[in-house]
Amino acid sequence: MARRKFTLPRLIAGATLLGLLVVLAYVCYKQFQTPPHEKNEGFRPLADGFYSHGIDVSHYQGDIDWDRLIKKSSVKISFVFCKATEGTSLLDNKWKRNLKELRKRDIPVGAYHYFKPNLDAAKQAHFFLKHYQPKQSDLPPVIDVEEETFSKIKLRNDVKKWMDIVKKKTGRQPIIYTNYHMFSTIFKPRFRDYTFWIANYSDRPERMQDERIQYWQYSDRGMVPGIESHVDLNMSKIKF
């Protein structure tokens, strides 16, 4: 049998095909290796018992084009929570702008404070209140509790102290934002008369059936019109 000659065009075609196969294999590998919570995501269909879509934002989202977001979003944005403060001295540099833009558009808006368990709870509450003057139409204020400490009892007491101060000043019972693990191990057994907003990025809507849970943050990888970076996606059991 005569030996086949490998001409230059044939070699180029073969190399091109091999390169395409390598790229395809890599894409498939990344697709299956990337955990679901690390993939870009749009709004999910509302789970049973949930009625409204919303987002939460901070300086990480930059200058948001609210008009584009509202007009181009695949769903109606029914509520937005905005970061206002953190600890005893950090004011989010997009807080005032976001609050102004949302109130101007009559979108239900709420403020949240990122709680630092190593700092005085009362001072954190007063710092939050210094920079947030709520309107009657606003959503309840939120305390964002993400950092655990060596003492669950102290954390619970400090969170309650913050909430009591804010409730006395605003007349509204604050919402507790936390992840599902902290809700289950720290707050669930003790905080029976409080409302929760839970971060849980697995596709487990049955975890959200506790009647105290009124908001579910199901993704931190949302991509929506008007926001260039990732944004947190939420749904609520409240009909806005």
Please report whether residue 1 resides in a domain: no
Please report whether residue 28 resides in a domain: yes
Please report whether residue 76 resides in a domain: yes
* 96 and 190 housed in the same domain: yes
* 35 and 47 housed in the same domain: no
* 52 and 12 housed in the same domain: no
* 30 and 61 housed in the same domain: no
Please report whether residue 79 resides in a domain: yes
Please report whether residue 122 resides in a domain: yes
Query: Which residue of the set 41, 56, 86, 144 is catalytic?
Result: 56
What total number of domains does the chain contain?
Answer: 2
- pLDDT reported for residue 213: 97
CB proximity list for 155: less than 8 A, separation 6 or greater: 117, 145, 148, 149, 186
Please report whether residue 62 resides in a domain: yes
Please report whether residue 23 resides in a domain: yes
* 26 and 85 housed in the same domain: no
* 189 and 220 housed in the same domain: yes
Query: Which residue of the set 38, 67, 146, 228 is catalytic?
Result: 146
Mark whether 211 is an active-site residue. no
* 84 and 98 housed in the same domain: yes
* 152 and 50 housed in the same domain: yes
Q: What is the pTM of this model?
A: 0.83
- pLDDT reported for residue 32: 43
Mark whether 65 is an active-site residue. no
For the domain that residue 181 is a member of, what is the CATH number? 3.20.20.80
**Domain residues for 30?**
7-39
* 14 and 52 housed in the same domain: no
pLDDT along the chain (240 residues), means of 10: 51 59 49 51 94 98 96 96 99 98 96 98 99 96 95 97 98 98 94 96 87 97 96 97
* 100 and 120 housed in the same domain: yes
Handedness of CA 147, 151, 156, 161 (dihedral sign): negative
* 35 and 50 housed in the same domain: no
Please report whether residue 112 resides in a domain: yes
